[in-house]
Homo-oligomer: A and B are copies of this chain.
Amino acid sequence: MYKVQVASHLKFTDEQKKELEAVSDQLSFVYQKDTDADIILGNVKADSLKEYKNLKWIQTAAVGIDNYIKKGVLNEGVILTNAVNVHSSEVAEHTLAMILNMVKKLYLYRDDQHKHLWSDEGMVKQYDELKVCIVGLGDIGNTLAKMLKALGMYVIGVKRTMILKPNHIDELYTSEELDKAISDVDVVVTVLPGNKENENLFSLETFKKMRPDAIMINVGRGNLYSEETLKEVLDNKIIAAISSDVYLKEPLDPSSDLWDKRNLIVTPHVAGGYHLYSAIESFLDLCKDNLNRYLNGEKLKNIVTIREE
């Protein structure tokens, strides 16, 4: 008998819980914290993992698992699987909506509305003339690229290692060529994991490589730039506007002066996070599949190799 803790943040319906429980009678499920658990489904606080003495496997609901792969968080031998691909649609859809929102200045019109201001915010850009650079070409980036192509946009991809260029990408660069890739585009989208390698990848110098009329949307992690750099870019209008779903410290402090920047759009880490019913459904499918694999002694899907940084 294995005890499975289902993390409380997961919004499974009663019906979905029944589906999960039907996987096998070798599993007993608990829906609250239980440090006796052999298996965890969903995210728990990284610093509480040490308490789980029987833990053999954690199936996180996240893609970015920066907190779990730090040295000493997981006991030796514990398997870590993530939820890569499960979130791709929702993050890509959020990003597309944000691109159009910014390009058409809808957020500025919303601001004007609050001031009771009937004011023309000027020219906007046309979809089939937009050049978009996606930095981080995993499943989210590729899903987004296909939607952008469907609207006639020109898509540049940046990937850590060189691959064969997919059809939905017009130009492909490696990370070493980042400066070149972002130098002549209307939109930069960043979908990078929060590892050491990407820390401060967007320095003030990097931002200065972009066109002043460009916008940026960060749906990766908050360590991509320092708060100081972010403020400098915004205050000096190095680029036109930034939308950031992620921050170095989340939630963003209520007293932060970032909230009041007109050229910064703050969203509270909601691009992913199971805001689509289909994402919850996909995660449920992944859990069922991996539970079956676990019980049958097969290799789990989405195993994350813990590498020391």
Instruction: List residues of A whose CB falls within 8 A of some B CB.
Output: 89-90, 93-94, 96-98, 100-101, 103-104, 106-107, 109-114, 116-127, 129, 147, 150-151, 250-252, 254-256, 259-260, 265-268, 270, 273, 275-278
Contact = CB atoms under 8 A, between A and B. Distances in A.
A118 to B, nearest CB: 4
A110 B113 CA distance: 12
Residue from A107, A109, A118, A276 with most neighbouring chain B CB atoms (10 Å) = A118
A175 B232 CA distance: 54
Residue from A90, A106, A127 with most neighbouring chain B CB atoms (10 Å) = A106
Contacts of A111: 110, 114
Nearest to A127: B93
Nearest to A256: B116
A105 to B, nearest CB: 8
B114 A106 contact: no
Contacts of A122: 275
A278 B125 CA distance: 10
A106 B107 contact: yes
Residue from A125, A127, A267 with most neighbouring chain B CB atoms (10 Å) = A267
A128 to B, nearest CB: 8
Given A124-B276, A151-B150, A277-B123, A101 B93 contact: no
Nearest to A275: B124
A171 B115 CA distance: 41
A276 B124 CA distance: 6
A126 B89 contact: yes
Contacts of A270: 109, 120-121
Contacts of A267: 106, 109, 113
Contacts of A113: 259, 265-267
Given A101-B101, A110-B265, 13 more contacts: A90-B126, A93-B104, A93-B126, A94-B104, A106-B106, A109-B270, A110-B111, A116-B254, A120-B270, A124-B275, A124-B276, A126-B276, A127-B147
Contacts of A96: 100
A97 B93 contact: no
Nearest to A274: B123
Given A123-B277, A151-B150, A106 B101 contact: yes
20 contacts: A90-B126, A93-B124, A94-B104, A96-B100, A106-B106, A106-B107, A107-B107, A109-B268, A113-B265, A113-B266, A114-B260, A116-B254, A116-B259, A118-B252, A119-B268, A123-B275, A123-B276, A125-B276, A126-B277, A150-B150
Contacts of A104: 93-94, 97-98
A104 B254 CA distance: 23
A168 B105 CA distance: 28
A273 B277 CA distance: 38
A116 B257 CA distance: 9
